[in-house]
Amino acid sequence: MHTRPLVHLKMTGLSFRTPDLRIIDQIQRYKVLAAGILSLVLTLGIARFAYTPLLPLMQQQAGLGISEGGWLAAINYFGYLGGAIIASLTSDLHIKDRMYRAGLVVALLTTLGMGLTDQLWLWSLLRFFAGLSSAAGLLLGSGLILNWLIRHDHRSELGIHFAGLGLGIAFCALVVELAYQHLDWRQLWYLFAVLGALLLIPAWRWLPPPDSTNTTRSGGSMEDNPPSRQFMRIFILVYFCAGVGYVVSATFIVAIVDNLPGLQGKGTLTFLLIGLAASPACIIWDLVARKIGDINALTSAFIIQIFGILLPAISYSPIATFLSAILFGGTFIGIVSLVLTMAGRYYPTRPAKMMGKMTVSYGIAQITAPAITGIIAEYSNGSYQAGLYIAAVMMAIGSLLMLRLKAYAS
């Protein structure tokens, strides 16, 4: 006796059973999540974070200066900020879908272009458009996927999706670590372009076109439930602090570690540890948030990240450096995941609007902090300690603001 209804098709004397709809639905869910993960590996991992382990090589082989390296990072975030503003102003899901797919192509072309020139102004232009593509992958892609998950009655957590950011970091670090002795900086950019082309195909094909109706598959309504203005003002300030705390280490960690006594050549390994720690972090912080609440989870992540930022500034031991990488990697992407998931829950019909507003704040921090850190480092004989202290202080301010945020959330 069968426990579920079966449909048989008679063809040439054979019977065929239709697949269980639940299995089809799960396969579709996995493909959508995989598309999101691979899009982040391409648009954030390769288009954005390949620059971090390649920065020392470009300084050694292509004559890129310390402050110029900081400015290129700032210009990249300026592009990211522009993408965030566009995302916040765009409501039409179909337009967002087209911009997401355009972002995949731009990520690939800008990666290829980085190896085709050694002109600073062209690098600057390419980093700007790479930043635009990063916003397409992170904001538009996550918004489309969150909308799909809610519409198909799946949990609205984006932990699995945001694991792509950590995997992208680890992937880029591993590629550079394995290939830098055999390839120069140009060839490494070409290699990343080839790998990116392979990722683009499933990232494009496996994300279905969006559905713009306001009901879920089971018939439930999708309604926005925005927070108060006071909550949003503080939330935006908190995320600005998170942007400063994140960007200094994320941009300069390889150069920072390579400049520490006894740790020369360990920068890429440290970056790899950040990526490995970041890969499961979103899922872990989603689980933590379910237990203690979103605000408490965010506060905990902020406090832990302060220690991760400060360790390379106060200790030169390999153990402290690697522990710093694990603490930093295990928290920064968790903060992003928690904030953007909260935005999606407040605005399920148009998640990218609040995501974009939050990321404008995050992006402003990412424009100013690398440029300031690069300038300070150039006038401090290549030391990035001051930048790390600034990042830690901003994270501490964000932790204090979180207490005020909790009062408005209660």
- Inter-axis angle of helices 294-314 and 318-346, to 10 degrees? 150
pLDDT of residue 6: 44
Q: Is the pLDDT of residue 398 over 70?
A: yes
Task: Select 25-207+225-409's CATH number: 2.40.50.100, 3.30.360.10, 1.20.1250.20, 3.50.50.60.
Answer: 1.20.1250.20
Band (pLDDT 50/70/90 cuts) for residue 401 is very high
Structure-block tokens of residue 179: 């290939």
Domain limits, the chain: 25-207+225-409
The 10s digit of each residue's pLDDT in 81-121 is 888 888 878 878 889 999 999 999 999 999 999 999 999 99
pLDDT of residue 133: 94
pLDDT of residue 8: 47
The 10s digit of each residue's pLDDT in 323-379 is 988 999 899 888 988 887 887 777 776 666 677 778 778 878 877 777 777 777 777
Under a CB-based contact definition with an 8 Å cutoff, are residues 52 and 274 in contact?
no
Band (pLDDT 50/70/90 cuts) for residue 196 is very high
Q: pLDDT above 90 covers what percent of the chain?
A: 32
The 10s digit of each residue's pLDDT in 377-391 is 777 776 777 888 888
The 10s digit of each residue's pLDDT in 146-162 is 878 877 777 655 677 88
Q: Is the pLDDT of residue 166 over 60?
A: yes
pLDDT of residue 304: 95
Report which residue type is found at 282: C
C-alpha dihedral over 43, 46, 47, 51, to 10 degrees?
A: 150
pLDDT of residue 98: 94
Mean pLDDT of the region 287-293 = 90
pLDDT of residue 189: 97
Cβ neighbours around 60 below 10 Å, total: 11
Band (pLDDT 50/70/90 cuts) for residue 35 is very high
Structure-block tokens of residue 32: 């959508």
pLDDT of residue 9: 43
Mean pLDDT of the region 49-75 = 87
Mean pLDDT of the region 149-178 = 81
Beta-bridge partner residues of 8: 17
pTM here?
0.78
| Helix (H) / strand (E) containing 223 | none
